[in-house]
């Protein structure tokens, strides 16, 4: 099935997104994917986001991607992560009320800036059952110290913005279940590695949703 163009409300703002379902009969487990930084060209058509969505669908998951406020046709302006967290929360609520979605099996994934949003929301929102960060930023560092939900952290060893040793030490403090995957030759932008990485991400969500 081809992806559907959707709109949903985040407070008083109307956001644009895309929603797709796998083959078969629902209700389906579903994954929300958050895009990288809006002020640096990030949007829902980012190739890493698209790779994750494609692999998720191949694993039998529905997916929803959307533009944060102020991006593309989404209303509003950049809100320093706080408003964007509410945008992601609105996406969760939209999915949870969708007839073909299993509201008990919703996960969230974020890439770069999107991981900041995903991790913060996962600590607050009971409807989120599993969370993954690609090229992940975790703020504050203690954010996930009490998060018992399944967590995935995927990073390139050549990431220009994230120190692998620091990430490994930080993730070591978080409770299980958790997975940390490094790609030896990948950088922050996943040139030539996006599909391989997205497959690992989709396997994680298939396992826990």
d(CA 11, CA 15): 10
Q: Which of 124, 129, 112, 137 is nearest to 32 (CA)?
A: 129
Cα(108)–Cα(132) distance, integer angstroms: 7
Q: In what order do the strands lie in the sheet with 62-66?
A: 4-10, 13-20, 62-66, 28-34, 101-111, 128-134, 151-156, 178-183
Cα–Cα distance list, 188 to 127, 174, 201, 202 (Å): 29, 23, 16, 19
Domain holding 43, by residue range, is: 4-208
**What is the distance in angstroms between the CA of the first residue and the CA of the last residue of the chain?**
21
At residue 140, φ and ψ (nearest 5 deg) are -70, 165
The whole-angstrom separation of Cα 162 and Cα 44 is: 22
Task: Read off the CATH number of the domain in which 179 is found.
Answer: 3.40.50.1820
CA distance 177 to 88: 23
Cα separations (Å) of 89 from 1, 26, 75? 25, 22, 16
- Do the Cβ atoms of 165 and 193 come closer than 8 Å? no
H or E element that contains 109: strand 101-111
Number of domains in the chain: 1
What residues pair up with 108 in beta bridges, in sequence order? Answer: 32, 131
pLDDT in tens, the chain (209 residues): 579 999 999 999 999 999 999 988 889 999 999 999 999 999 999 999 999 999 999 999 999 999 999 999 999 999 999 999 999 999 999 999 999 999 999 999 999 999 999 999 999 999 999 999 999 999 999 999 999 999 999 999 999 999 999 999 999 999 999 999 999 999 999 999 999 999 999 999 999 99
């Amino acid at each position: 099935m081809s992806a559907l163009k959707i709109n949903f409300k985040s407070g008083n703002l109307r956001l644009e997104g895309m929603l797709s379902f796998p083959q078969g009969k629902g209700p389906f487990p579903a994954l929300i994917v958050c895009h990288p930084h809006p002020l640096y060209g990030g949007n829902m058509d980012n190739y890493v986001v698209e790779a994750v969505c494609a692999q998720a669908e191949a694993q039998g998951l529905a997916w929803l991607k959307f533009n944060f406020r102020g991006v593309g046709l989404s209303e509003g302006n950049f809100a320093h992560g706080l408003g964007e967290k509410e945008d992601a929360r609105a996406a969760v609520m939209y999915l949870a009320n969708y007839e073909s979605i299993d509201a008990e099996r919703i996960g969230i994934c974020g890439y770069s800036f999107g991981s900041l949003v995903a991790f913060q929301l996962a600590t607050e929102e009971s409807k989120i059952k599993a969370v993954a960060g690609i090229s992940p930023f975790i703020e504050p560092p203690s954010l996930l110290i009490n998060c018992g939900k399944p967590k995935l952290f995927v990073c390139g060893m050549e990431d220009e913005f994230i120190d692998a040793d620091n990430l490994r030490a930080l993730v070591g403090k978080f409770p299980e279940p958790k997975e940390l995957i490094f790609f030896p030759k990948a950088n922050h932008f996943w040139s030539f590695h996006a599909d391989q990485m997205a497959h690992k991400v989709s396997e994680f969500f298939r396992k826990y949703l």
